[in-house]
Chain A
């Protein structure tokens, strides 16, 4: 294993200088590049979240700042810098100022071992999965610090909730990831991706029924770890005003905010690497990819596409699900996710031990078929809902032709809506 930094140092022909100094300098540059990329991704995700929220609620979302409102996140960022940095008088000043940093560090440091491409990885650790799970737990420290230092009851409740939640959901998340580690026989993310292939049936998602379920367990736990809706109890604005960041303003709040959205991308990236074949291109072997820069670029693009889709699903989920109650949250973790992920781990172990290779191919094909069938059913459901509700919700109908309000028409439309849905409960 060689650090990317060392490779760059060799490439620059700087072997003559003291090795440690060169490595330190290059590490700094690489860290800055990664941080910039992550900040940009997180910023774009904040914009994407608002667009997704808009379309989910049948509205538009930001569309005035730049094309399709794309520069909205830049405007938000600059504004947050200019805002006053309020530190409450009763707060623990040192801790209060320090709290955003563990969150940012925990998330951003995790990106060091995210395999954006076959060679585009800051540090290909041989304990990559372990490192990711460990370093993201630093977020708990920051959140708890913020909650405690704010000297505010909402913040404290949010911080404690967040700590309980992250610590609880860490367990099923790790167990579900272990299923894949068991199959691949390595903790290195590049190694895990290397064991998979480009085609969907070569992904670990469809490897066998146990990994198929394990993916959903991992995804649910990761969403809960990232404090995203439906698990956003730490920031539940109907109960705790804004949770642990209730007293934060300006750039310190932006730290928490960007950390949250970087975490969304991070969990999608990890899921992509573990279950969706990472940067593998269909029909292209890793050796071919290593030889050609073009395939490298395609691989990076494919990884970004897969991870972006995952992030989109997280945002979509957020605007679909209502928030869980606290007891339900813990019940979900300890009654359902934890036993199930244990079962999946044991199932995978038994699978590796018992099932011969020819049967494994059959199972792989069958799981892929089932998975695609589920996707097909889902798409059919989407179009069913479009057909069923149709444009009855459109205000154009109620407005009539001449742009005037027509109550009769509205009654008719609503009547049609009621009639169509009358048989729903029976069927």
Chain B
């Protein structure tokens, strides 16, 4: 469960701030933009597919940037495309997050020496999570989306929206003891879906 919500010993009562509640909602409804620039897009589509069902966590795609929370830089970004990517990002509504998916978006990848390729998505957008792989497996993208969830849970959005956060005197977002989803091991199948 969310580490920022305290529970009574019997688990019947949970106490948290309003920010915790909002974050709980925000992180469980992370809609990503249906946007891809290259072959990573195939894995991006597959992530919503039957075998790796992204909708289990509430990750659904939105075709329009206005309604998306996360933009996934899936694939090689050329200089010509860069301005469009930037435009899409600017069209998204706050709060918004960026995932750099695959080697091309991380560093330019195989096209590092190529003249028309942007050498990393973080040159044009504030990337939150970098995913390794060429392309990453759908599960790796799920993990990245869950890392964004983890990031959401550490942002007091009410305070941030009013410009009162980050605040050095307010260490509200404790570094998470949960090391992302990488550490999650199999617990066996659950009979009910």
Contact A74 B95 (CB under 8 A): no
CB distance from B84 to the nearest CB of A (A): 14
Q: How large is the interface on A (under 10, 10 to 19, 20 to 34, 35 or more residues)?
A: 35 or more
Tell yes or no: A15 within 8 A of B by CB: no
Q: How far is the CA of A63 from the CA of B56 in the complex (A)?
A: 5
Tell yes or no: A247 within 8 A of B by CB: yes
Residues of B contacting A85 in the complex (Cβ-Cβ under 8 angstroms): 93
- Residue in contact with A54 in the complex, picked from B51, B53, B57, B192, CB distance below 8 Å: B53
CB distance from B148 to the nearest CB of A (A): 13
Residues of B contacting A253 in the complex (Cβ-Cβ under 8 angstroms): 66-67
Contact B28 A82 (CB under 8 A): no
Q: How far is the CA of A71 from the CA of B192 in the complex (A)?
A: 17
- Residue in contact with B62 in the complex, picked from A65, A68, A69, A242, CB distance below 8 Å: A242
Residues of A contacting B64 in the complex (Cβ-Cβ under 8 angstroms): 241-242, 245-247
Tell yes or no: B16 within 8 A of A by CB: no
Number of residue pairs A-B, CB distance < 8 angstroms? 102
Q: How far is the CA of A168 from the CA of B27 in the complex (A)?
A: 41
Q: How far is the CA of A242 from the CA of B34 in the complex (A)?
A: 11
Q: How far is the CA of A278 from the CA of B56 in the complex (A)?
A: 35
Task: Look across to chain A and name the residue whose beta carbon is closest to the beta carbon of B96.
Answer: A84
- Residue in contact with B56 in the complex, picked from A53, A58, A60, CB distance below 8 Å: A60
- Residue in contact with B28 in the complex, picked from A53, A64, A84, A247, CB distance below 8 Å: A64
Residues of A contacting B49 in the complex (Cβ-Cβ under 8 angstroms): 57, 59
Complex interface bits, B147-182 against A, C-beta within 8 A gives 1, otherwise 0? 000000000010000000000000000000000000
Q: How far is the CA of A68 from the CA of B28 in the complex (A)?
A: 14
Q: How far is the CA of A351 from the CA of B24 in the complex (A)?
A: 59
Within 8 A of B (CB), among A36-79: 50, 53-54, 57-65, 68-69, 72, 74-79
Contact A75 B56 (CB under 8 A): no
- Residue in contact with A72 in the complex, picked from B24, B50, B58, B63, CB distance below 8 Å: B58
Within 8 A of A (CB), among B77-96: 91, 93-95
Residues of A contacting B69 in the complex (Cβ-Cβ under 8 angstroms): 79, 83
Complex interface bits, B33-76 against A, C-beta within 8 A gives 1, otherwise 0? 01000000000000001110101111010111011010000000
B contact set with A: CB distance below 8 Å = 21-22, 24-26, 28-29, 34, 49-51, 53, 55-58, 60, 62-64, 66-67, 69, 91, 93-95, 157, 192-193
A contact set with B: CB distance below 8 Å = 50, 53-54, 57-65, 68-69, 72, 74-80, 82-86, 237, 241-242, 245-250, 253, 395
